[in-house]
Amino acid sequence: MDWSQKVVLVTGGTGSFGKKMVRILLDEYHPAKVIVYSRDELKQHEMRVAGYQDANLRYFIGDVRDLDRMRRAFEGVDIVIHAAALKQVPACEYNPMEAIKTNILGSSNVIDAALDAGVERVIALSTDKAVNPINLYGATKLAAEKLFVQSNSYAGGRKSRFACVRYGNVVGSRGSVVPVFLRQRDNGEVSITDERMTRFWISLEQGVRFVIRCVEQMHGGEVFVPKIASMSIVDLAKSIAPDAKINVVGIRPGEKLHEVLISEDEARTTVELDDMFVVQPAEALWFGRDWEKIGKLIEGDYRYASNTNDQWLTVDQIGAIIAPIETAYYAGSLK
């Protein structure tokens, strides 16, 4: 794909992922234009002040809840990366309709605006919490996935295609446990909910580069899942605060012991490649299943879970990942 000929719009472009995506696109791929679409004028101003200024960069104030505004923003756009979401689990539980309006209805608006504007490729960010969800955030992301996959059937003769990327926790992103542990370290104690807890972890840059790759390779209808490492929450705490006391406070409502990126039911239509999985739609006349020609269909009752993963980060490896995040935290960019 020749990115230099493409106009790219990033919803939620002022978030942790959005900013990293914009920076890598501008520095390495040089699109004809990059549009940051977000609802917060202060965060857009802070991006500009932080050096996100480029002749090909535009800032567009708008909410994914506002279909008319998105229709205007999507005019002339070739690629949409949909990263806007309410993602704090407690906030979504307390404000359920707000989560539904942004994560589900907002995703529906992205699809409608993209179809109306003839956007070529639209890819949405999802999460491991969308698999067998037990909290509202995960349920809204599962619904958003279903909307994006099935929206390909509405494209008809249009060139628009839709896909999703699903991965685990992003180390050091806003809302991550890493800044929490860094704050607690100063008091000599860190709190974890359960010593058995494991999570999939991916760095911000890994996530961005995976999304870019999936945009380039998508046919429409896939859910792309990278093969990533797992981490014990205890090892994370020990890496950040090796001398601190660990307090076990009990698992919170809506929280899982372990996360799943591919369920046993999805595995039946999933293709495995060297470094990722491609979850194909179960039944779709419009989906060609060309991925099966370059990968292998998973057999048996496979389940891609954080506690049974064959890739694990050691305490030292976690420390190497945390080091630049710690620097950013004390510089004030993660507080």
141 as an active site residue: the answer is: no
One-character DSSP codes across 93-128? HHSHHHHIIIIIIHHHHHHHHHHHHT-SEEEEEEEG
Residue 323: Cβ-neighbour burial (10 angstroms; 0-12, 13-18, 19+): exposed
The active-site residue out of 6, 20, 43, 129 is: 129
Q: Are 108 and 114 in contact (CB under 8 A)?
A: no
Q: Shortest CA distance to 129 belongs to which of 121, 119, 140?
A: 140
151 CB neighbour count, 10 Å cutoff: 24
Two structure tokens written together for 260: 């799943």
Q: Are 89 and 255 in contact (CB under 8 A)?
A: yes
Host H or E run for residue 73: helix 67-73
Q: Shortest CA distance to 259 belongs to which of 323, 307, 329?
A: 307
Q: Which residues are catalytic?
A: 129
